[in-house]
Structure 1
Amino acid sequence: MAIIIFAGCESVYDSNGFKRKSPFRTSLAKFKQMDIDTLKIYVPREMRGEYKGKLLTREETMLFPAEVVDKNINGRSEMFATYKIKIDDNYVGLIARTPSPEISTSLKLLYYNKEKDKIDGYIELGEVWADEGNVLKLNSYIFKDENKKLKSFTSLIATYDLDLEIDKSGKQIRYEKFFLLDLSKTKPDTISTNEKVLKKIFGKLLLK
């Protein structure tokens, strides 16, 4: 009689579908799982609240694209984990607060490929910047459409003080731009930039 012995072996994936021996293991654990309906992505004042995030170690940040980490001119390339969301069966979106020229005020969606265990792309969805009367705000509302595809309504609003040596009125120039983005791909597509239509559909979100 032949005796067949089945050697037990542990799956290379954990219960979340991540590779058990992935170098990203500790950093992925710092991102809070989020099942979204609609999620506002914005930079909070004084880095408090939901986007304060958990600080990644230097070793963890080195796993991410260099151009994401090495933006800070003051040498403090601090990166913070906030949320992770399912994009599809293979991709997980990591929402991280990443370095900007002064401090870490840039919120990016990074595409983590579970199969290849790497970051395949990213897009900036939130930022705030101010300097001597000039202000820039980038906010986004991400959501799943009827086909469960990840989309984003993104607004870029900037105000600039006119040069007082040229114009004594003290007026400001205001710039607004609105986008509807398809985030279901690692290279996001712009679906629309029609300001009138986008304001009509998503205008109430701008008041929140």
Structure 2
Amino acid sequence: MNQSKTPPHIPTQARTRIQRRNHSAILNAALDVFSAKGFRGATVDEIAQAAGLSKPNLLYYFPSKEAIHLQLLSGLLDVWLAPLRDLDPEGDPIPEILTYVRRKLQMSREMPRESRIFANEILQGGTHLGDTLTTALKPLVDEKAAVVARWRDTGRIADVHPYHLIFSIWSLTQHYADFDVQVRTVLGDEGADPYPEAERYLETLFTRMLTP
């Protein structure tokens, strides 16, 4: 995503320590508000309150709710795609795919707010992502799907559909972030950590599915 489209209201190099702190506080608060309410449901007043700032003070850093949202989205797709980008065509196929599964699950564990913001953006049509889905996400997915297809066609993994394999990894890992309350409620112990067992389950699932 081109970050020049959504520059902070104050250039990074010109910010004082307090300005940097406030800027970070706004973005962190916005993560909470946007992940809970989505872009449409969030307001500048709520973000300012969560950041411990007045609305005029917040608007000193960001001119609008849209600017805050775009600042959060900028770079998020790169972070989201990094584990897929690291899938090594020369590596051992099943370990490579399992590493991707683990990293995606780890991101759900460590970045649930970012996951929900991204999911909400996609559910709303991805309008704030502009053309990055076609210029950044699709070419990378095409590239890695071709790698999976080569592994399949040479008998190194079972006969799987490359794109649907990637889709299934996304859905099965990101579910734990996007539906955290549901997961913990159904498991019956809201204080328990579902991720270790989820990792073991997904490793077994994909290993069995991918083994020729």
TM bracket (short chain): under 0.3
- Select the structure of larger CA radius of gyration: 1
- Could you say which structure has the higher strand fraction? 1
- Could you say which structure has the higher helix fraction? 2
Q: TM-score, normalised by structure 2?
A: 0.25
Relative contact order, higher structure (CA 8 A, sep 6+): 2
